[in-house]
Structure 1
Amino acid sequence: MHGKLPEHFNLASHFLDAPAALHPGRVAIIGEPREITYSELAALANRAGNALCAQGVSHGDRVLIAQPDSAEFIAAFFGAAKIGAVAVPVNPFARSSDYIHYLENSEPQAAIVHSESLAEFLPASSVRPQIPIVVVGEETIDSHGVSCAKWNDWIAAASEQLAAADTSPRDAAFMLYTSGSGGAPKAAVHRHADSLVASRNYAQSVLGLRADDLTFSVSKLFFAYGLGNGMYFPLSAGARMMLNPERTSVPHVIDLVARYRPTIFFAVPTFYAAVLREAERPERRVDFSSVRKCVSAGETLPAEIFNAWKRQFGIEILDGIGSTEMLHIFISSVPGKCKPGSCGFPVPGYEVKIVDDAGESVRDGEIGTLWVRGASAFAEYWRIPELTARTKRDDWVVTGDKFFCDSEGYYHYCGRADDMLKVAGMWVSPMEVENALLGHPHVAEAAVVGATDERGLSYSVAHVVLRGNAQGSEKLAAEICEHVKARLVSYKVPREVRFCSELPKTVTGKIQRFKLRGA
C-alpha cells in the first residue's frame, strides 16, 4: 500500500469529511432519485451518527442496515463508522429466514430498514429483544405493533455537527456477509483502514479513477464488490456516483446508462452476457459510448463474453478476482494488456501464490489453491474462530479458489475448490467447459457440475439456458456436446446436458453450483 497509516484514522472522516471540506458544492450522488452534494451527504451522515448515539449505540456496537443503494444507506454506514460502531449492511431484498440469521448472528443494537423490507424484516425481528428500528421510505407502513421511528423525524432532531470517534486504522468498522454461493452467509469483519487500502491499490493504481468520473455499479452496496465500486471508490477520488435503488433489471440499467452516461461501469459476467443478449434484439439500442472502463468480478469472465463485448461496444472488460475477505479485487486485468479468459496480474499492494495441498508452490501451468496477502484483508470471521484460523495463515488468506499462472504471468481462475471436477483421474475446470459451451449459438448461460454414476465414477453435467426460442432436445444436447468435443479434450466433454429456464444465482449474480449438484 502507498503511504503509511496514521495512528488515528476514521473511515468517515477520510471518505466523507475530507472531500466535503475540499469541495462542498460538488455533486456526490447524481441520482437516483436526486442530486446530493458532498456537503449534504456529510451532514446527513453526521445526523445519522448523532441519532444513533442518542439511541445508546456506542463503540463496537453493530448497526444493521437493510437499505437499497441510496444516500440513506451511505449516511447510515458512515454515521455508524464515525461514532466507532460497526456497520452491518445486508440485502434489503432478503427473506425473513435471512434476516433471522443476520439478527441472531450480528446481534445489532439498532437497525435501519427500508419500508419495502419491513414485511420480511419485522417477523424476523422477534428473535431478538426489541432494538431501535428506524424506517426509511415515504410509504405508510403497518409495523404490527413493533415500535419504529421514521428516518426523516429521526435525523431531523439530530445535529449536523459530529466529531469522529477516536478510532485506529485497525478498529472494526463494518461487517460484510459472504454472498452464500457456498452455503450459509458468514460475516467478514473489516477495519477502518481496509477501504483506504483497497481504493489506493485498485481504484487508483488499476482504474486511474478521476474526479471527473461518474461510476455506476450494477452490484449493490451491501456486497463487498459493490461497496467499493458504488461508494468509497468514487468518494476517494472526489468523483460522482450513480445509485440505482431498484432491483436490478437489464432494460432499466441500459436506460440509466443512456440517460446519465457513466464513465466507469461495474457488473458481473452474467449481467454482461444479459446486456449482449439485449443488444441482439433489432429494435433495441444499447449505448455504452460514455463508458471508458468496464469492470467485471464476482465470477470469472468467459472469453466468449469478453470478445463479444469488445466487438459490440469497442471496450475491453477488465476482469478481476476479489473476495469479501480481501474486500475488493486483488488480481486484475490491466488496460491494454487484457488476455481473454484470464484475470490478469496481482494488483499493486497484493501478493499471491498458488500452492498444492501441502502448501508448496506449484509450477507455472499447474492448478493449485490461491493464497493472497495484503493490508485490506479481513480481521476475522465474526464469532467463527476455528474458520478464521483455517483461512488466515499468518498474514496469508487461503481463498479456496483454484488457479494456475501461465508462462506469461497471467493468472487464470479455474473455479472454487469444491467446484473443481476430477474426471478419469484428471482435473477439469468448470469455467473452461462453460466457456466452450457459451460458444454454441443456442447457449445463453451454462454451469457445469460433477455427478457420480452407479459405478461410483465421476462425470460432468452441463446445465444450459438456451437463447431466444430455442427448444431443448436430445438432438440439440448431442450437438452441444459435439461442439465442446471439437474444442476440448474428450474427458472434459460433459456426459449429460440438462436444459433449464434459469440457473440458480445469489443476489450478487454468482451461480450457485452447490444447488445444481444437489438437483
Structure 2
Amino acid sequence: MNIAKNLEQTAKFLPNKTAIIFEDLSITYSQLDEKVNQLASGIAQMGIEKGDRLALFMPNIPEFIMIYFAAQKLGAIVVALNVLLVKNEVQYILSDCGARIIFAGKDQAEQVPMDEVESLEHLILVEGDENDSRHLNRILDKSVHTFKALDMDAHDPAAILYTSGTTGFPKGATLTHVNVLSNISATIYHAEIKEKDILHLFLPLFHCFGQNFIMNSSVKRGATLVMHKRFEPGPVVEAVRKHKVTMFFAVPTIYIYLLNMKDEDLDMSSIRYFFTAAASMPPEVADSWHAKYHMPINDGYGLTECSPFSSYNHDFKHKPGSIGHPVMNCEMKIIDEVGNPVAPGEWGEICIKGPNVMKGYWNKPEATAKTIVDGWLLTGDVGTQDEDGDYFIVDRVKDMINSAGNNIYPTEIENHLYSHPAILEVAVFGMHDDVKGECVKAAIVLQPGTTLEPEDIIAFCRTKMAKYKVPQQIQFVDELPKSPTGKILKRVLRAGV
C-alpha cells in the first residue's frame, strides 16, 4: 500500500492525459510521474528515507504535487506548512515534527530558521534562480525514469497536517496511508469524479481539503487539475471559461464573493458540480446560489483529523442546511457531556469513527487520548440529528457563547443575519462581560452602497430570536479577517476588538 501507487497506475494507463494545468504550463501524467521519479531518486541520495519528515512550505505550484508524491514513494512523511507562517511559527512546527529537509517557495524561504531547528539538514528552493546550489533542479536525478513506490503498512504515517492552533500551540494530525486512501475512495464515490473532469484547485494544498479531497482524488481518478497559487477572482473566473472547468471547490466566503460579481463577468456554464466545506454554509447563500445558477452547492463536513471527508449532503437530497449522512465506511453519533448518545433533535458533540480517523497527534499522546476515545474521534462540533437520520451542525464548542448561564450558538444568529439584504458577511462571537460573563457581538460587512445603523441590526434580530441571543454590540467593518482557506478568524476579532 502507498498513496504514490495511485500516480503510478494513472501514469501507466493514462500517460498522455493532462494531469496539471498551471498558468501556461501543461503536464501529462507520464511527465508528472517521471519528474516525481527523478525527485524521489535525488531526495533518496540526500539520505532521506522511510519515516523521515519532509516539509513543504510553498504556494500552490506543480512542484508541491511533484515533491509530495516523491516523498510518498520513499515512505517519507509530508509536513505541509501554511504559507503565511512566520519564522517562530515555522520553527515550532519543524522542531515538533523533527523535519530533516524543507522545500520552500521564494517568499517562504526567508522564514525558514535553518540554524534554530536541530533536526533540519537541508533547505531546497523550488522557485527563483536555478543556478542557486539549493535549487530543486540541482537535486533532480535525470538519469532515472522509473522509481517504484515503497510498500507501506496501512497504518504507516503519510502526512502530518498541523491544526490552526486556536487554543495554544498547533497539533500535528498524523494521517496514515489508509486514512488518505479511504478518503480518496469516499471522495470519488460521493462526488462522482470522472476521468474527463477538470477540477479547479485554488484552495491551499497545505490544507487537508486541497491536499486530499481535490489533489489526491484527481490523481487517483485521472482527472485534470487547473491550479492557481491562490484564489484571485479574475484569474479563477477566466480559467473556468478558458479550460471549461467542470468541478468547482470553494469555501462559503468565496461563494459569497462570487454571488456579488457582475453576471457578465461570471460564466459558470461548464461547471456540473459545486462543492463547499471547511466552514458552515449559510442556507441563505446556498439558496441564492441555487436561484441564480439553478444548481445546488454540494455540502460536506469533515476536519483535518478525519482526512477530512466525513459526511455529505449530495445535491441537498436530504435537507437544505444539513451535512447529510456519514460517507462510506464512516460512522457518526452525537453524545452528551458524559458520553451518552442523545435522542433525535437534541444537541450534543459530533463523534466520528472509521478508516479516515487520524492515527493521532504527533508526539502528543495525552491530547490524542482526549480526542480519540474507544476509536471515536470527538470533533468539538455541536450538532444534532433529526428523526430521518440527517445530521446538522449547530456550532463549534469553542465558539459557543455563555451569557448569564445561557448557551448561545453564533451560527444560529449568523444564519438569520445573512437573510438581511444589506449584509454581505457577518461573524458573531462572544466578548467578555463583567456581569454576564460574555455578551454577543456581531462584526458585519455591508453590501456595497448600503448603510445600516446598529439599532437596525438589533431590531432585525429581536423579531426572530430570544432576547438573550440578540447581539448587544454591533461593529461595521470593511472586511473580516480570514485564513488562507477562507475561514473567518473569530479569535482575531476577539483579540482586536
Q: Please say whether Structure 1 and Structure 2 have the same fold, judged by a TM-score greater than 0.5.
A: yes
Counterparts in 2 of 1:78-477, with a 5 A limit? 78-121=69-112, 124-129=113-118, 131-139=121-129, 149-157=134-142, 159-204=144-189, 206-245=190-229, 247-279=230-262, 284-335=264-315, 337=317, 339-423=319-403, 425-471=405-451, 476-477=453-454
Q: Once structures 1 and 2 are overlaid, which stretch shifts more, 179-188 or 38-47?
A: 179-188
Counterpart residue number, 2:3: 11
Change (3 A) 1:168 1:457: closer
Match of residue 3 from structure 1:
none
Is there any run of 5+ residues in structure 1 with no aligned partner, and where? 1-8
Could you tell me how far 1:420 is from its partner in structure 2?
A: 1.2
Whether the 8 Å CA contact 1:464–1:499 is kept in 2: the answer is: yes
Structure 2: how far apart are the matches of 1:262 and 1:60?
37
**Partner-residue secondary structure (3-state), 2:265:** coil
Letter in 1 for 2:454: A
Distance 1:343 1:97 in 2: 37
Q: Kindly state the Cα deviation for residue 454 of structure 1 after the two structures are TM-superposed.
A: 2.8
Cα distance in structure 1, aligned partners of 2:178 and 2:359: 11
Residue pair 1:188, 1:378 contacting (<8 A) in 2 also: yes
For residues 229-259 of structure 1, the C-alpha deviation after alignment (integer angstroms, 9 at most, x for no partner) is 33111112111111112x3222332222222
- Measure, in 2, the Cα distance between the counterparts of 1:22 and 1:438: 48
Match of 2:478 in 1: 501
User: Following the alignment from structure 2 to structure 1, what is the Cα–Cα distance between the partners of residues 150 and 325?
Assistant: 38
Please, what is the CA RMSD of the aligned residues? 1.9
* Mapped contact 2:184–2:213 kept (Cα < 8 A): no
Tell me the CA shift for residue 157 of structure 1.
Answer: 4.5
Report how far residue 210 of structure 1 moved.
0.7
Which of 463, 479, 494 aligns to 2:456? It is: 479
Unaligned runs of 5+ in 2: none
SS of 2:275's equivalent? strand
Pairing partner for 1:492 from 454, 464, 469: 469
The one-letter code matched in structure 2 to 1:211 is: E
Runs of 4+ in 1 over 4 A off after TM superposition: none
Determine whether 1:46 maps to 2:37.
yes
Distance in structure 2 (CA, Å) of the matches to 1:207 and 1:359: 32
Letter in 1 for 2:200: F
Change (3 A) 1:510 1:183: farther
Give aligned-pair identity as a percent.
30
Partners in 2 of 1:342 and 1:54 — Cα distance? Answer: 50
Q: Which moved more, 1:421-430 or 1:296-305?
A: 421-430
Cα 1:179/1:267, change in 2 over 3 Å: farther
1:133 partner letter: L
Instruction: Give the counterpart letter for 1:243 in structure 2.
Output: M
Amino acid at match of 1:128: V
Q: Displacement, 1:95?
A: 2.2
The CA deviation at 1:338 is 5.0
- What is the rounded CA distance, in whole Å, between the counterparts of 1:128 and 1:424 in structure 2? 47
Write the distance in 2 (CA, Å) between the matches of 1:107 and 1:32: 34
Aligned partner of residue 59 in structure 1, secondary structure: coil
Q: Which amino acid aligns with 2:153?
A: S
Report the Cα offset of residue 457 of structure 1: 4.3
Alpha-carbon distance in structure 2 between the residues aligned to 1:251 and 1:489: 42
Q: Are the aligned partners of 2:404 and 2:436 in contact in 1 as well (CA < 8 Å)?
A: no
In structure 2, distance between residues paired with 1:182 and 1:317: 31
Larger mean CA deviation between 373-382 and 100-109 belongs to 100-109
2: CA distance between counterparts of 1:255 and 1:337? Answer: 31
Q: What code does the residue aligned with 1:291 have?
A: I
| 8 Å CA contact 2:172, 2:361 repeated in 1 | yes
2: CA distance, partners of 1:290 / 1:424: 51
Distance in 2 separating the partners of 1:47 and 1:194: 27
Query: 2:167, 2:231 → 1: CA distance?
Result: 22
Secondary structure (helix, strand or coil) at the match of 1:35 reads strand
Q: Deviations over 1:139-171 (max 9, x none)?
A: 479x8xxxx521122215562221222311111
2-structure distance, mates of 1:307, 1:336: 11
Write the distance in 2 (CA, Å) between the matches of 1:98 and 1:43: 34
Give the C-alpha shift of residue 227 in structure 1. Answer: 0.8
